[in-house]
Amino acid sequence: MNDNVKLNERELPNDDPVYIDYLYVCDGRVVRSDIQGTVDDLKRDLRDYYNFNAIVITNCDIIGRQKFK
């Protein structure tokens, strides 16, 4: 892993929109959204369908994460 890479990921407020098939980082884990709605809706979806209780959701810096490889 390259420690020199700085990811451009910011925490999203609960009322921010999320989009189907977009990538987000939920408590450090990259997930693809199955829903369109808000961050709060995504947290609920992750909890109800995947038994994953996300606390912090950020946007995903796809390019930056590819540099880690």
User: 40-67, pLDDT tens digit by residue?
Assistant: 999 999 999 989 999 999 999 999 988 8
Is there a contact between 50 and 33 (Cβ–Cβ < 8 Å)? no
Rounded Cα–Cα distance for residues 33 and 59 (Å): 11
Question: Can you tell me the distance from the alpha carbon of 25 to that of 56, in angstroms, rounded to the nearest whole number?
Answer: 8
Could you tell me which residue, 48 or 6, shows the higher pLDDT? 48
In this prediction the pTM is 0.87
Q: What is the pLDDT of residue 66?
A: 87
The residues pairing with 32 across neighbouring beta strands, listed in sequence order, are 23
Q: pLDDT value at position 44?
A: 96
Give the pLDDT mean for 36-40. 98
Q: What rounded mean pLDDT belongs to the chain? A: 92
